[in-house]
Chain A
Amino acid sequence: DVKVTQSSRYLVKRTGEKVFLECVQDMDHENMFWYRQDPGLGLRLIYFSYDVKMKEKGDIPEGYSVSREKKERFSLILESASTNQTSMYLCASIKYNEQFFGPGTRLTVL
């Protein structure tokens, strides 16, 4: 079974804090993605990566950065968290046209 894990299920941070969201996949997939999910908006792509040290901006990259130092790990970084970044964050990896998602991290920024 493909497994995508995310470091935290729930996270509460304060405005201005630096936040790291970690994602690990165990199937040697090359492509990995970070989305945020908000009611009525579906999933919106923040960043994606086709390989180690490679990254590309998605549709809403502002306020975020990413790091992919190892193939299995893709990190999402909020340099200075703001309240409008309160959301559900989903990580995914892809194989044969199917995206496999982690359980999500619900981030609240106070």
Chain B
Amino acid sequence: TQLLEQSPQFLSIQEGENLTVYCNSSSVFSSLQWYRQEPGEGPVLLVTVVTGGEVKKLKRLTFQFGDARKDSSLHITAAQPGDTGLYLCAGRRYNQGGKLIFGQGTELSVKP
């Protein structure tokens, strides 16, 4: 059973479209992170959200942490081919130190 359910697992869109990736759980997290991974490389941190209801923006990317700290979303506006990659959400539970629980990942392909 996956503790963090990420959806969709695959997304293929045209340049300029908007998209949203969801990360859901029945567990409460102290914080939630989003990573992006390009082929042949390790994941790289995009953002950390800590407070329930928090919204963070990174250029065309908007991240939201659910009010109950059980879910998160990543919204990309006007996607570009450079956004292509694997997006991973990762949650940290209370009293678990530095350990992260990862979602399955969303493979995003943005076609010109």
Instruction: Tell me if B112 is interfacial: C-beta within 8 Å of chain A.
Output: no
Cβ 8 A contact of A104, one of B33, B41, B48: B41
Contact B97 A101 (CB under 8 A): no
Instruction: Tell me if B9 is interfacial: C-beta within 8 Å of chain A.
Output: yes
Contact B98 A94 (CB under 8 A): yes
Contact with B along A27-57 (1 / 0, CB 8 A): 0000101010000111111001010000000
Cβ 8 A contact of A50, one of B41, B97, B100: B97
At the interface with chain A, which of B54-62, B71-79, B101-109? B101-109
The size class of the interface chain A forms with chain B is 20 to 34
- Using Cβ atoms and an 8 Å threshold, which residues of chain A touch B99? 33, 45, 48, 58
How far, in Å, is A10 (CB) from chain B's closest CB? 10
Instruction: Tell me if A103 is interfacial: C-beta within 8 Å of chain B.
Output: yes
- Knowing A31-B97, A42-B88, A98-B48 are in contact, say whether A103-B42 is a contact too (CB < 8 A): yes
Contact B42 A92 (CB under 8 A): yes
- Interface residues of B, dominant DSSP: loop
Contact B100 A103 (CB under 8 A): no
- Interface residues of A, dominant DSSP: strand
Contact B98 A99 (CB under 8 A): yes
- Using Cβ atoms and an 8 Å threshold, which residues of chain B touch A102? 42
Instruction: Tell me if B40 is interfacial: C-beta within 8 Å of chain A.
Output: yes
Residue among B2, B9, B42, B43 having the largest count of chain A Cβ atoms under 10 Å? B42
Q: Give the distance in Å from the alpha carbon of A78 to the alpha carbon of B9 in the complex.
A: 30
B:31-64 near A, CB below 8 Å: 31, 33, 40-45, 48
- Among residues of A, the one whose C-beta sits closest to the C-beta of B30 is A97
Chain A residues at the B interface, C-beta cutoff of 8 Å: 4, 9, 31, 33, 35, 40-45, 48, 50, 58, 90, 92, 94, 97-99, 101-104
